[in-house]
Structure 1
Amino acid sequence: MISLSRLLTRRKPRPRMRRRLRFEPLEPRLPLSTFYVDPNGDDAALGTEDAPWQTLQRAADAVAPGDTVVVRAGEYAGFNLTTSGTPDQPITFQADPGVVIDGPNSWNGLDGINLEGASYAVIDGFTVIGMPRAGIRSVLNQGVTIRNNITDENGVWGIFTGWSEDVTIEHNVASRSVTEHGIYVSNSADNPVIRSNIVWGNYASGIQINADASAVWDGQDNDGIITGALVEGNIIYDNGWGGGAALNNDGVQDSVFRNNLLYGNHASGIVLYAADGADGSKNNLVVNNTIVNADDGRWAVYIQSGSTGNTLLNNVLYSGHWYRGSIDIGPDSLPGFTSDYNVVMDRFTLDDGDSRLSLADWQAATGQDEHSIMATPDELFVDPWSGDYHLAAASPAIDAGTSFDAPDVDLEGRPRADGAGWDIGAYES
């Protein structure tokens, strides 16, 4: 039996448990900004549309991910960018028509636009002329886009990249580089996209892709191989006075070269080899290109240095040289080699030009080009001597190709197989 005194005794209250609410801090975000640069601006201003800055470097020093810099018409010194954007919020430098960079950036005094470790940046619409080294240089970064620019008469390269992963170089004009190449992608950086550029008049190669196994810089990994390149829709002409090739590939593997027009070049057309790369240029697809070398040019396609497993389909392979011709391939590059449905000359070599083979002898020796045909530029094109390499109405290249590995569209975006079959070369009739 419970006593009355016990019932009346006040119980000590139990301590209350206090519920604590936890708030995770929000990720700090700055508002995306659009800055303006004008030759008549002031670097002490706010960089707004009504109060623009004067120099490109002032803008490069201020930007954050997602920002856009609009550059108004006028002449400028170049700039050095070290700040990165993100995949979703790139940093964009957008030039209005009439923007010209005619002096190098102040950081290295060599290049016009320099992206030094700056990833996810877009460089759009600039004209860069007369730099001591590169018009546009992009190194030690990822996800950079270089588009709609003109680089002319620069000392070494028009556009140069090194250790620049996943770079896109598109819709540019790269011309008259004094000592080397129009576009140079280097140093073991994978997945470059080089498309729809016009590359002309450069002393060495039009486009050079070089994995360069010997290069070491800032602790970067370097396997000496570039993989996953896509090179398409480029027009490359009048390059190579100093050697190289219209499209020179050193240590490039598992890549695609399609819908390119190469004409009037003074060295080789497309080269697959290894000099600086760690291994040969292997397992590449070369499809629907038109190659017509100049009278002083070399072989249309040159494959050496153990560059095995390459495929050539639907290409026009012509050299204006009196001796050289369609394909020069070394015995060490023959394993896995496939070539067919091309328009060729009656000239091939398996010993680097010491001797020549006719098409029939080539077919017998290699088993390749069973369905390939021979034709001259006059038979193939509308007006090759004036630079019109569209297929003539009665061109033997019409409907003579294969659908296997062919691109869906031609150099101008016209659907492929516009007729009874796939055409050979960069243009669909």
Structure 2
Amino acid sequence: MPGPSPGAPRRLGARLTLALMLLLAAAFTVADLSVAPPAAPSTAPDPLFGVNMSFFGPNDAMVGRPATRELFRSWGVPIVRVPLRDHFEGSTAPVGDDLLLSAMHAVRDIGATPMLIIRGPGSGLAVDDVKKTDLHLLDLIHQVFGDGTAYLEFGNEPDLPGTDVPVADYTAAWNTVVPALKSRYPKAAYRYVGPASWRVDHDYVKYIGAFVAGATPEPDFLSWHEYVCGAATDSRWKDTCDGHLDNWQTHVTDVEMTVQGKIGKQLPYFISEWNADSSATSPVYKDGNTGYLAAWTTKAIDHLRALRPAPSGAMIYTATDHGNFGLVTGADQVTAQGRAFQQAMAGSSAVTPPKDTSSSPENTPSPDGNSSPGSASPQSPGPDSPQPPQSPGPDSPRSPASEPPQGTPTPSGTGPSSGTPDAPQATGNQYYVATDGDDTRGDGTHAHPWKTIQHTAQRLTVGSKGATVHVADGTYAEAVSNTKSGRAGGYLTFEAEHPGRAHIAPKNSDVPFENRGDYVRIVGFDISGSGGAWSGILIWGRHNVIQGDHVHDVLTHIAPKDCDGSPGGQGIGDDASASDNAFLGNRVDHIGPYPTECEYIHGIYPSGGGDLIQNNIVFRTSGSGIRFNHNAKGATIANNLSFANADHGIYITGGDSTADHFVIDNNIVRDNAMYGINVRDDANGAHNQYRNNLFYKNGKGKYGLNNSGEFTPPNASGTLSADPRLVNYAADGTGDYHLTAASPCVDAGTSTGAPADDLDGVTRPKGRAVDIGPYEFTR
């Protein structure tokens, strides 16, 4: 609605030109709408919503900024709506194929499915010209997306005043152009959408009725736009904006009844644009009304969820800056409306969604989600599942076996708390382990558990909904090595029934818990490396989640004199071959012969690409609290507390590759022997972001370059140098690391990269902005 389709003459006045919206493809009724690689993020059943791309010029943020794309990718948005324009606003020069391809590649980078606005009739174009242009655009689309799913919207707002394409002309153009497009790539999963009306009133219902009655082929989806405020300027504009939300169900009912009467059945539909008002000058978008706009957005999403029949998707206008619209500014700051949208989303993942959602070849999940002997047993009592960190989705509970979790709370004191409300709830096949179980006579059920975790790892079957291994309280003097994988729709989860009460402490092992699978979660264990281990948890695969674990006393047996010759080690880490793993809400301490410095021994030590490091507390390591190396790049390190380490609080190196696209935000780094955050030359990428980090009493200073001098890194902002004023700071780990009311960390963080919940499961933000560190201050 904010503008006509590409190539159409722009209507004068307050209406904006069309921007793109990202569509959430949920609750589809068409069975064969599988998403083309790269796959869209795994989503919950509750349908939610996408955004338009604001592709009004060559410098569009979503197209040109990897950080912007990563932000929307982290939200889990599955479809982006893109106008394939013939020219940009204010220019008559044609948009080149390279820019159109860049826009489509941006959708791929986000991991989303495209909705692409191709040419429709209007603007004086003859139908043959429309067909020629669309066939060329189709070739570009196929170049990027192959035969995978793409939604092709035939023009945009043909009934917009100033465009005024009669329904007979629109239908005739559809009947000429769409068959030609379908025959171009007959094996492609392309779906054709129309007529994308700018409003739904009596005339539009007649328009769509006449269109479906005459369309050959029949459209795969209908679409229209919804705005409610109507550029209201009187004193009661809020009543208009709120009251007109009820019209949305009326519109759906009117369209569906009309279509039913014309063709004897209903058709699925998209609301391909929606927002409060189509005019950027509307009072609702003024700076003083951001709070109201956020509240209105939440109400609007509730109305969209309640529509019956449900939309196949609904896309808010718009992703990034365009006038006063936008969920995210050009500087990747989330607006008030963006925060409301993000918090209401359901289905985004804590871990960046995979490029390939298939399971590893050696362990293809069973098609039967209940095939294991333990599946019929009662589920162990446990609290509700946590929400993913980027999007809490308060109205849509999700199974952690389907979605990676948010960081499980850990205590502020000496060890993990018991019975925390964020312990994951199991789904899929169920298995049980207890110290009084029996690996020979047990069957892995709740009534007859097995005795060891390793025996269970070898015997379990991962079904289509995943599998969960419940580990009862007690000490397990064994090393665990898992080789099986879950899948994007069903994780394999190893979880302590009560966080911190299941202790894995092998008497003699290099690695107490080693995982070589993909889509595996290791949740809530106390893991000790006192039996000679060089790594507490080591990950080799992809898309794994290490959550709420306490890993300690690893490599403490190394003599200080042997530090220089040490092969290295860590509390938690992944290999250079790994990628897209998440380390959430863990406590890692006493790693190496602290306080002796050992430069190869670290707390959390990721070596793969695209990892997520959030809400962790790391201290008393002989190296750096959090250290990246080898193939590390594109990671997010946010809201961690790293203190009292013998080297740096956080250390970024490239190792085997050039490291770039790091997001390092909202961390507290204090009392580390060297720099708070040290960066090596091979990791000093131009796209790295360092925002709103707090430094206090680090031996050499705040940001170090090559450990040889303090510097200001690129894209650094919001840096604080102050006492974080924690409730009871203690360098030995016995303190309470929550924030006090006087802490400079309160409301001083950025939403970029921040998890939606803190270490206690408290939703962020509680004040005006996200707090720095793993805990939100609760008022």
TM-score by length of 1: 0.65
Contact map agreement 1:33 1:68 (CA 8 A) in 2: no
Q: By how many angstroms is 1:367 displaced? A: 3.3
Q: Secondary structure at the match of 1:79?
A: helix
Partner in structure 1 of residue 762 of structure 2: 414
Unaligned segments of structure 1, at least 5 residues = 1-26, 36-53, 91-119, 212-223, 275-279
The alpha carbon displacement at 1:140 in A equals 4.5
Secondary structure (helix, strand or coil) at the match of 2:592 reads coil
**Alpha-carbon deviations, 1:310-329, whole Å to 9, x = none?**
110111122431xx111221
2:679: which partner in 1? 329
Match of 1:230 in 2: 582
Q: State the identity as a percent.
A: 20
Residues 372, 460 of structure 2: 8 Å contact kept: no
Deviation, 1:155, is 2.3
* CA–CA separation in structure 1 for the residues paired with 2:703 and 2:751: 25
In structure 2, the CA distance between the partners of 1:89 and 1:68, relative to structure 1 (3 Å rule), is: farther
> Does 1:263 pair with 2:615?
no
Question: Aligned with 2:755: secondary structure?
Answer: coil
1:338 to 673, 689, 707: 689
**Of 216, 221, 245, which residue of structure 1 is paired with 2:602?**
245
Partner of 1:97: none
- 1:384 is matched with 729
Work out whether residues 457 and 482 of structure 2, in 8 Å CA contact, stay in contact via their aligned partners in 1. no
Partner AA of 2:753 in structure 1: D
Question: Could you say if the C-alpha distance between residues 424 and 196 of structure 1 is closer, same or farther in structure 2, counting changes exceeding 3 Å?
Answer: same
| CA contact 1:292–1:320 (8 Å) conserved in 2 | yes
Shift of 1:402: 1.0
Distance 1:71 1:394, change over 3 A: same
- Paired residues in the alignment total 313
Which structure shows the higher helix fraction?
2
Kindly indicate whether residue 777 of structure 2 is the aligned counterpart of residue 395 of structure 1: no
Is 2:668–2:773's contact at 8 Å kept on the other side of the alignment? yes
Residue 194 of structure 1: aligned partner: 546
Aligned partner of 1:303: which letter? I
Determine if contact 1:125/1:150 at 8 Å carries over to the other structure.
no
Asked if 1:367 corresponds to 2:717, the answer is: no
Cα deviation for residue 88 of structure 1 reads 4.7
Q: 1:268, 1:293 within 8 Å by CA — same for their partners in 2?
A: no
Deviation sequence 1:128-166 (CA, Å, 0-9, x none): 4444xx2x2212544432111311254235642342111
**3-state secondary structure, aligned to 1:326:** strand
Q: Which residue of 2 aligns with 1:122?
A: 469
SS of the aligned residue for 1:179 comes to: coil
Structure 1's 337 and 78: CA in aligned 2 closer, same or farther, altered over 3 A? closer
Q: Distance in 2 between matches of 1:30 and 1:281?
A: 37
> Matches of 1:264 and 1:392 in 2, distance apart?
23
Structure 2 residue 619 is the aligned partner of structure 1 residue 254 = no
- Aligned counterparts of 1:341 and 1:238: Cα–Cα separation in 2: 27
Partner Cα distance (1:269, 1:199) in 2: 13
Which runs of 5 or more residues in structure 2 are unaligned? 1-367, 379-435, 497-501, 556-568
Structure showing the higher strand proportion among its residues? 1
Deviation at residue 283 of structure 1 after TM alignment? 0.5
Question: Is contact 1:181–1:207 with CA below 8 Å preserved after alignment?
Answer: no
Equivalent residue, structure 2, for 1:293? 644
Where do residues 3-402 of structure 1 align in structure 2 (5 Å cutoff)?
34=377, 56-59=438-441, 68=446, 70-71=448-449, 79=455, 82-88=458-464, 120=467, 122-125=469-472, 127-131=474-478, 134=479, 136-142=480-486, 143-148=491-496, 149-152=502-505, 154-157=507-510, 159-181=512-534, 183-187=536-540, 189-203=541-555, 204-211=569-576, 224=577, 226-241=578-593, 243-250=600-607, 252-274=608-630, 280-294=631-645, 297-304=646-653, 305=655, 306-321=658-673, 324-335=674-685, 336-345=687-696, 346-351=701-706, 353=707, 355-357=708-710, 362-363=711-712, 366-376=713-723, 379-385=724-730, 386-402=734-750
> What TM-score comes out, normalization by structure 2 length?
0.37
Letter in 2 for 1:381: L
Structure of higher RCO (CA pairs closer than 8 Å, 6+ residues apart): 2
If you compute each CA radius of gyration, which structure gives the higher value, 1 or 2? Answer: 1
Deviation digits for residues 9-60 of structure 1 (CA, Å, limit 9, x no counterpart): xxxxxxxxxxxxxxxxxx998986559xxxxxxxxxxxxxxxxxx9632146
C-alpha contact 2:587 2:618 (8 A) present in aligned 1: yes
Q: Output the CA distance in 2 between the equivalents of 1:257 and 1:77.
A: 26
- Aligned 8 A contact 1:347 1:356 in 2: no
- Over the aligned positions, Cα root-mean-square deviation in angstroms equals 3.0
